[in-house]
Amino acid sequence: MTSAYAIAEAERHLEGEQRARFTELLKGVRVVADVPAQELPAGVLLRSKDVPILAAAIAAQATHLITGDRRDFGAHYGKRLGGVLILPPRDYFQPSRRQRKRR
């Protein structure tokens, strides 16, 4: 799932073929409502452009927020904020050690 705000944020960084591929990928994604700015969990500091990303994930009761935005979310990688585990894509998609041992 993602929010309309997150889609718009991603599209700002895409061109041509990337944008076309992104549009195709979105066909299989549930878009959740953007939520009004809300207070972040205690101790969480984010730039204003990133608050709607986390707010939508919390409001949608997402289990994970997968982001490559190391600059703004990197300090929160591996932590739960408002019940949402923040991870970079590499960590989310990495097979567990148990799965690697079976191979």
pLDDT at residue number 96: 63
Those residues whose C-beta lies under 8 Å from the C-beta of residue 80, and which sit 6 or more positions away, are 86
pLDDT at residue number 94: 87
Type of residue at 38 = Q
- Helix (H) or strand (E) segment spanning residue 92: helix 89-93
Type of residue at 15 = E
pLDDT at residue number 98: 36
- Span 27-38, pLDDT tens digits: 999 999 888 877
